[in-house]
Structure 1
Amino acid sequence: MVKWETSLFTKIILMLSLAVVALASRNGDFHYFYFVQQWLGSYCDQRGEKCCYPPTGKPGPEFSIYGFWPYYNDGSFPYNCGGGNFDEALLKPMQDRLRKEWPSFTCPQIGRKFWVHEWNKHGTCSKSVLGEVAYFQAALSLKNRVNILQALTRAGIHPNNRLYPLKSVKKAIARATGFHPWVVCNRNSQGVSQIWQVSVCVNKSGTKLINCPFVPKGPGDCESRIKFPSF
């Protein structure tokens, strides 16, 4: 009886050890990025939430960077991979651009802590390919290339509080980027579905748009017609 219990205990320890090794191995790799932008008008007008403007005041009407997240092909993702201490001094040359293109509007206004959070949770899982500076530079470069507001404006879709067909929104972005986007909606205080986040997929080097291997379903799904709120 003692021998059987010892054998079982040994097997359990071995299985747990293998699981930890497998997880560590997986955390060190990924297949692609989701580059996510958000419409601040929707973030600041969502049900049950409040936004706070940075010390520089209310920004102009524009989509801003929300995240640059490594993913696996099956739709899962690594996070909090560790081993990549955030060094704010390294980002000083691009700090003005980050404040403009990758702001935080969480209350209370958290400023630079948002970049620390994004690096610690997501960036550290891509550090085998992109170090801290390269990670943020890649996101800023993609922001210049993926101009969501311009794509929608060219298609006659404006932030004027009107409802637009979801298909038209996706088509306009796909025409401008060459790739189908993942559009996430939230709801305003009246419960109306509105455009919030737009994501495109990017290769592991963070330089080239690709077709998304996986598009999640569930929370954030949009109605067939969605509001484009003013800001």
Structure 2
Amino acid sequence: MKQNSSYIDLFLVVLLCHSGCCLPVEYGDFNFDYLLFDQHWPITECWHWKSLNTSNSCSLPQVQNAFFVHGLWPSQSGTKGPNNCSNQPKFDRKALDPILSRLKQRWANIHGGTDDYSFWSHEWKKHGTCAQVLEPFNSELKYFKGSLDLNALYDVYGALAEYGIKPATQSYAVDDVLNAVMKKFGKAPQIYCLISKGQVLLHSVRLCFDRNIKLIDCSSVGVSAKNCGGKKTLQYLNKITVD
């Protein structure tokens, strides 16, 4: 199957070149089965960033009612990657000008003192260059815009709130979080936790898409439903409290 997939991807490269969106001559490994879409909760990510160093600060959104895009990652069943599929096209800051305000609202780098563009450049080089063999993501602008569109379409904050799960000091059953997302979107996600200093925190909700950008069960491509260290409850932080 992987050999056949390679031929298909090579055909896509040739096709895209003829359509005026030519991919690099130096062809890399574009083999992947699905796309893993990671949306993280900004407060948990800030908690993690501050826990690494007491001098770290965060740039959090004023209205904290949305999960931010972390990334859209081409992936192979049962393993990770591919990553860094090509060194072309190079990341171009200006290419993102048409969607810059949207990026700052939903795909910002909340690590204080660090640059948004460094974050976006990393995601493009590591993941976008692999996703570019798919027509919906075959340019830098389309990769980032397409990911933002998925973030708007699959509103994790709204899905959880609809089932009574909101940021709070109380704990929630991991299964309740999982089931809320599954009921809302109709497919099984992955609930990803950050476990540190005895706390189990909701960090990300990950959705899986096939190569036609159709939502699928993450379990169908070997992604476990829960990545919370076997813990049965988690916290969905509503404020930063780092000891």
Query: Which residue is equivalent to 1:103?
Result: 108
Amino acid corresponding to residue 154 of structure 2 in structure 1: V
Query: Which residue is equivalent to 1:92?
Result: 97
SS at match of 1:193: strand
> Are 2:229 and 1:225 aligned?
no
Distance in 1, Cα, partners of 2:28 & 2:92? 25
When residues 220 and 104 of structure 1 are mapped into structure 2, their CA distance, relative to the original with a 3 A threshold, is: farther
Q: Report if the CA contact (8 A) 1:65-1:102 is conserved.
A: yes
Distance in 2, Cα, partners of 1:139 & 1:58? 19
Q: Which runs of 5+ in 2 are unaligned?
A: 1-25
Residue of structure 1 aligned with 2:205, choices 187, 194, 198: 198
When residues 111 and 137 of structure 1 are mapped into structure 2, their CA distance, relative to the original with a 3 A threshold, is: same
SS at match of 1:41: helix
Amino acid corresponding to residue 36 of structure 2 in structure 1: Y
Residue of structure 2 aligned with 1:114, choices 92, 98, 119: 119
Query: Which residue is equivalent to 1:21?
Result: none
When residues 218 and 77 of structure 1 are mapped into structure 2, their CA distance, relative to the original with a 3 A threshold, is: farther
Query: Which residue is equivalent to 1:73?
Result: 77
Q: 1:47-86 residue pairs with structure 2 within 5 A?
A: 48-49=51-52, 52-54=57-59, 58-61=61-64, 62-82=66-86, 83-86=88-91
Between the two proteins, what is the percent identity of the paired residues? 26
Structure 1 moving runs of 4+ over 3 Å: 50-54, 216-222
When residues 109 and 220 of structure 1 are mapped into structure 2, their CA distance, relative to the original with a 3 A threshold, is: farther
> Are 2:177 and 1:177 aligned?
no
Distance in 1, Cα, partners of 2:160 & 2:222? 24
- Residues 113-153 of structure 1: CA distance to partner in whole angstroms, max 9, x if unpaired? 11011000111112211221221121011001111111111
**TM-score, normalised relative to structure 1:** 0.80
How many residue pairs are counted as aligned between the two chains? 204
Q: Which runs of 5+ in 1 are unaligned?
A: 1-23
How many angstroms does 1:92 deviate by?
Answer: 0.6
**Over aligned residue pairs, what C-alpha RMSD do you find?**
2.3
How many angstroms does 1:58 deviate by?
Answer: 3.8
Amino acid corresponding to residue 40 of structure 2 in structure 1: Q
Amino acid corresponding to residue 194 of structure 2 in structure 1: N
